[in-house]
Amino acid sequence: MKRRISVLTTNPSLGILTYSLPEAKAVAAGQLVSIPLGPRQILGMLWEEDVSNQIKIADNRLRPVSKIYDLPEASHCYRKFIQWVSSYYMAPLGAVLRMGIPFSPATIESREIKNYYVPKREWPKLTPLRQQALEKLSGEKGSVRELAEKAEISPAIIRALIKTGLITEQKTSLEIALSLPNPDFNAPILSETQSKAAEILKESIAKKSFETFLLDGVTGSGKTEVYFEAIAQTLRDGKQSLILLPEIALTEPFLKRFQARFGCEPVVWHSDLSQARRRKNWQAIVTGQAKVVIGARSALFLPFKAIGLIIVDEAHETSFKQEDGVCYQARDVAVMRAKFENIPVILATATPAIESVMQVRLGNYKEIRLAERHGSAGLPSIHVINMTEQALAKGRWLAPPLVKALTNAVERHEQGLLFLNRRGYAPLTLCRHCGHRIKCPHCTAWMVEHRQLGQMICHHCGFTMPVPDKCPECQTADSLVACGPGVERIAEEAAVLFPEARIETITSDTLATPKQAAEFVEKMDQGAIDIIIGTQLITKGYHFPRLTVVGVVDADIGLQGGDLRASEHSFQQIAQVAGRAGRSALDGHVFIQTYEPETPVISALASGDREAFYQTELEIREITEAPPFGRYVALIISSEKQEIAEAVGHQLGQRKPEGDGIEVFGPAPAPLLQLRGRYRYRFLIQAKRNIPIQRVIHQWLSKISIPSSVRITIDVDPYSFF
Ligand code: ADP
Ligand code: ZN
């Protein structure tokens, strides 16, 4: 009988398969292999070295492994970890592995990657399409696909241009000479509190065992400097560190800061990397050459050679929650990865998640506090503006005290920031004549006008249409009115109020790539911007020394909708944006515009009494048995046909699990009934923490057969409820 091994493929629908291997071949579980599947080759990880006794497939039906890659094998801990993620989040094993090995045999084997370069030069006479493409791409590098995407043309045109020699080939070797970060390159002199904090972390690293730290320090207290010391220690031990950032836009400024401290840039991992760069960085991570990696949440799944430390920066951020594909919370996954690897993990934040506060209280996490800002910077003064007392003219959103403070700041050559978490010009457009509201044809959502683009966009599915010049319902011309403000509308008002100021709007539309983020930071540093108007993108991590005035345009927005974490998020978001003000010797002032100054969120922000706020929130969660006391799982049933989704919901509803400590709500039409053309029905499962909820759900789902046109999304520990 042939020797059998099992292979976990990176294909979600295949999972673990059996292949044969020559008897004498020495292999290790965790090695990367390529296997035949029909006519194709696919990538996988050798999962078990010998399953000859378990698998009774006839020899002649077994195919041999095609190739074993000469790369270090992933550890036992890594495989355990992948398994845990798969079973906790109820996601296919292959889908989890794929996040760590996002390649095909072809992309992983190539020793070099073909890139193309578009030189900067004068072009001969060409068709307008080609001409435009070359102008757009001038000076750019990338694969055919990447260049085509950048120029928004078909790959065929790029290939044609390559043939004419106007775009030239460049082979990029995958070998990289990485410089090593130097732990002692430029270490700061830490304050007493900072060095105490750093000592605690360094001791933990020396112990080389699992421990979770909540590094809880006010904005600007030097959390980054403190965890840099932990990285320095890990570097001295020759181990790898991983830093997770909540937003890829933050990577560029972070790289600079890292370089100033350690003498060279770390290795980056996020979705915006070119294919060649991704492949190179991956290689450096699995071979252990990359000593420090900064990345988006997916970096957690990489098979590091020797990871010694994980840091989650801005750990309260909701962007660590992945909502599609494998639904997971990266902060929790980071803690679990550290647990499997038996290493320390640091959650750094100024506004911890309720879940983290609870873990500290339970004694599971160790808390390290930094209560003061570094150096001469004080915390900003908070001014609550009661909007019910402000008689603002129609179409005006900025109250006089805020306007005055901004005017003064601009005159003093300081900078201001207006925060409103709404992209576009207005969240709703309606017809003055018949009352019709413009809605997305694919979602239960309003179309949002983006005046600068002259388009209406659905923020849920991206559907775009030109702004109509008459009502689509009653055909009356010039009858459409914009209701409520978005950032573009605030920018319009600001342009009138501060005619001298240089104003810049920052949203995911204008700041989509690390490069754009770097340009923005550069402009801020040079003082080329006076007032920023931005969405939540601007609340995170930035350090602008001359920024002194922050205005929260509508502090009540976040409390609408009222989901589980609405108050918590609102508090975190406003506290974070407030934390952008007065980070140097200049005093900071924060103006919070609200119609409800008495709510716990606003009063906690005004008084600075964070503990009282957390206490009340925890009590509410405890009474309602909500997370972190109980556990939630959301089940979303969707189909392009409403009757089918509804029927499956109904069938599941009739068989819903019952018992002590478990309650199932639903099926209910989702608040966002239609999303991207699919109709959605929801269940919410609430369970005590000791219930093996995943098993219960598996059994429940196995009771009915689900038509292939229906998709069931399981979201364990959900953040969104729409
Ligand atoms: P946080 O991460 O808590 O918001 P940072 O680490 O970004 O705080 O620190 C805020 C600012 O203060 C940064 O510009 C940082 O370089 C500076 N800083 C903090 N601690 C020190 C120190 N010990 N020596 C010099 N500069 C420091
Ligand atoms: Zn839509």
What pLDDT digit, counting tens, does each position of 363-403 carry?
A: 999 999 999 988 888 889 999 999 999 989 988 999 999 99
**Ligand 1 atom, smallest distance to 257 CA:** 16
- The pLDDT of 489-493, averaged and rounded, is 96
Per-residue pLDDT tens over the stretch 378-387: 889 999 999 9
pLDDT of residue 561: 65
pLDDT of residue 146: 82
Q: Highest mean pLDDT: which of 197-211, 272-286, 529-543? A: 197-211
pLDDT higher than 70, residue 174: no
**Ligand 1 atom, smallest distance to 217 CA:** 3
C-alpha 133, offset from chain centre: 31
Decide if 146 contacts 172 (C-beta within 8 A).
Answer: no
Q: Which of 398, 399, 457, 454 is nearest to 427 (CA)?
A: 457
Would the pTM of this model clear 0.85, i.e. be above it? yes
316 vs 355: CA distance, rounded Å: 9
Cβ count near 120 (within 10 Å):
9
pLDDT of residue 110: 66
Pocket of ligand 1 (CB under 6 A): 188-191, 194, 217, 219-225, 374, 543
Per-residue pLDDT tens over the stretch 559-604: 876 688 999 999 999 999 998 888 888 899 999 999 999 999 999 9
Mean pLDDT value across the chain: 92
296 vs 409: CA distance, rounded Å: 35
Q: Write the residue with the smallest CA distance to atom 24 of ligand 1.
A: 188
> Token pair 């911890």 is at which residue?
352
Both tokens assigned to 522: 């550069």
Mutate to test the pocket of ligand 1, among 316, 374, 546, 577 (most ligand atoms within 8 A of CB): 374
Mutate to test the pocket of ligand 1, among 189, 214, 221, 225 (most ligand atoms within 8 A of CB): 225
Q: Which of 50-59, 203-212, 238-247, 609-618 has the lowest mean pLDDT?
A: 50-59
pLDDT higher than 80, residue 271: yes
- The pLDDT of 409-415, averaged and rounded, is 95
191-207: burial string, b at 16+ Cβ within 10 Å, e else: bebbeebbebbbebbee
Ligand showing the shortest atom-to-Cα distance for residue 462: 2
Q: Write the residue with the smallest CA distance to atom 26 of ligand 1.
A: 188
pLDDT of residue 696: 96
pLDDT of residue 596: 93
pLDDT of residue 172: 65
**Which protein residues have their CB within 5 A of the ion that is ligand 2?**
440, 442-443, 458, 460-461, 463
Distance of CA 458 from the midpoint of ligand 2 (Å): 5
**Ligand 1 atom, smallest distance to 224 CA:** 6
What's the Cα-to-Cα distance from 688 to each of 329, 630, 631, 664, 719, rounded to whole Å? Answer: 19, 5, 6, 12, 18
- CB-based burial label for 652 (10 Å; 0-12, 13-18, 19+): buried
pLDDT higher than 70, residue 493: yes
64-96: burial string, b at 16+ Cβ within 10 Å, e else: ebebbbebbbbbebbbebbbbbbebbbbebbbb
pLDDT higher than 90, residue 252: no
pLDDT of residue 29: 95
- The pLDDT of 329-355, averaged and rounded, is 97
- The pLDDT of 703-714, averaged and rounded, is 94
Give the rounded percent of residues in the chain with a pLDDT score beyond 70: 98
pLDDT of residue 324: 87
Work out whether strand 292-295 and strand 267-269 pair parallel, antiparallel, or are unpaired: parallel
Distance of CA 218 from the midpoint of ligand 1 (Å): 11
Sign of CA dihedral 574, 579, 581, 582: positive
Cβ count near 656 (within 10 Å):
17
**Ligand 1 atom, smallest distance to 377 CA:** 12
pLDDT of residue 173: 63
**Ligand 1 atom, smallest distance to 219 CA:** 4
pLDDT higher than 80, residue 121: no
Q: Write the residue with the smallest CA distance to atom 18 of ligand 1.
A: 222
pLDDT higher than 90, residue 510: no
pLDDT higher than 90, residue 673: yes
Q: Which of 67, 56, 61 is nearest to 7 (CA)?
A: 67
